[in-house]
Amino acid sequence: MEEEHPNLQISKRAHLLDVLYHVFMPEFEEPTEITEAEEERGKEGEGSEYFCFPHDKENIKPENENSSDKPPLVEEISIPSVTKLSEVVGVKFSSTNGGTLNFGFDCKTVTLYLPTISLDVNTEVTLRNLVAYESCNASGPLVLTRYTELMNGIIDTAEDAKLLRERGIIVNRLKNDKDVANMWNGMSRSVKLTKVPFLDKVIQDVNKYYDSRWKVKAGKFIKAYIFRSWQFLSLLAAILLLLLVIFQTFCSVYSCSRIIHVPNLQ
């Protein structure tokens, strides 16, 4: 393993989970921007092409629920789903060969680059343990935690998972795409929102591009003004209808023709 990962330094690692974490999350360095070479799928990238968790569940330590004094948040990261990004504003998705720290958004090609991940029946429990370990021991940015938040934010439905699978970002060894969506959506129950500068920059760029499109602006305008006006008009119509019913009831009892004198126009 040390030959494949020369910077791993196994002898300095405290336990198996520490080794596993540093296999997939090398020492943090601010990654460089995505280059055009990433689009050439025929070239071999340096490092791991994707990270996979083949270990058995019984060999994984359970998550330490007391790893933080603060309760986990169930809120999601603020970013549109894969389907919205693709269908509404035409964002393309591409997998990267640069390891787990290789993220980027190219505004010129409107492409969101994400590292490839292989999912199997052991992935969720492994991710939860690695996230818990990172929150307890990492001295730098919680990159893996932020990554799970990002995936949780962009994957809402099986359709989102399907699109990422078709783009090679997700290698699905689960039963179906719905299981993939359920796995990522469930991760929000065990993580707290954190900050990682280079990942936050990617999220900010995606949101900025999404919000600048005319379709999104028109949708927000309709939701903010027309829908609110429609609610007001509905309330006004309900009040007028109530008044008419009251007036009709009053006339049926007291005979309005006797009270209201209508002049003869002939």
Asked whether residue 31 falls in the same domain as residue 120, the answer is yes
Question: CA 28 to CA 13: how far, in whole Å?
Answer: 16
**Is residue 190 located within the same domain as residue 254?**
no
SS3 (DSSP) at 136: helix
- Domain enclosing residue 229, as ranges: 217-259
Task: Tell me: do 188 and 236 sit in the same domain.
Answer: no
Instruction: Examine residue 177 and state whether it is found in any structural domain, yes or no.
Output: yes
What was the pLDDT predicted at 264? Answer: 55
| Mean pLDDT to the nearest integer, 146-172 | 93
Q: In this predicted structure, what is the pLDDT of residue 11? A: 57
Rg (CA), the chain: 28
The mean-pLDDT minimum among 71-85, 89-103, 158-172, 243-257 falls in 71-85
- Residue 37 in any domain: the answer is yes
Strand partners, 117: 51, 170
Mean pLDDT of the region 130-144: 81
Model pLDDT, residue 194:
72
Q: Is the pLDDT of residue 190 over 70?
A: no
Domain boundary (181, 197, 212) is at 212
28 and 129 housed in the same domain: yes
Task: Looking at the structure, tell me whether residues 163 and 242 fall in a common domain.
Answer: no
pLDDT band at 129 (very low <50, low <70, confident <90, very high): confident
Q: Which residue has the tokens 């023709």?
A: 257
- Is the Cβ–Cβ distance between 136 and 67 less than 8 Å? yes
Residues 80 and 177 placed together within one structural domain of the fold: yes
More confident: 50 or 95: 95
Cα distance between residue 85 and residue 170, in whole Å: 17
pLDDT of residue 8: 56
The answer to whether residue 43 sits within a structural domain is yes
Does residue 143 fall inside a structural domain?
A: yes
Range with the lowest mean pLDDT among 58-72, 96-110, 132-146, 168-182?
A: 58-72
pLDDT tier, 64 (very low <50, low <70, confident <90, very high otherwise): very low
**Looking at the domain assignment, is residue 207 inside a domain?**
yes
pLDDT of residue 36: 47
Q: What is the rounded distance in angstroms from the CA atom of residue 253 to the CA atom of residue 261?
A: 17
| Domain co-membership, 191 together with 234 | no
Strands 111-119 and 104-106: antiparallel
**What pTM, to 2 d.p., does this model score?**
0.64
| Across 177-201, average pLDDT | 81
**pLDDT grade for 214, boundaries at 50, 70 and 90:** confident
Assess if residue 4 is contained within a domain.
no
Domain assignment of residue 266, yes or no: no
Domains identified in the chain, total number:
2
- Residue 93 or 5, more confident: 93
Same-domain pairing of 98 and 148: yes
Residue 3 lies in a domain: no
Do 151 and 222 belong together in one domain? no
Residue 1, pLDDT score: 46
Q: Are strands 92-96 and 50-52 parallel, antiparallel or unpaired?
A: unpaired
Both 243 and 137 in a single domain?
Answer: no
Rounded Cα–Cα distance for residues 35 and 31 (Å): 11
Helix (H, G, I), strand (E, B) or coil at 261: coil
Residue 197 confidence (pLDDT) above 60: yes
Q: Which of 46-60, 87-101, 145-159, 246-260 has the highest mean pLDDT?
A: 145-159
Mean pLDDT to the nearest integer, 123-152: 85
Query: Do residues 205 and 231 share a domain?
Result: no
pLDDT of residue 76: 61
Domain match, 169 and 196 both: yes
Q: Which residue has the higher pLDDT, 57 or 188?
A: 188
Least confidently predicted of 47-51, 116-120, 182-186, 226-230: 47-51
Mean pLDDT of the chain: 74
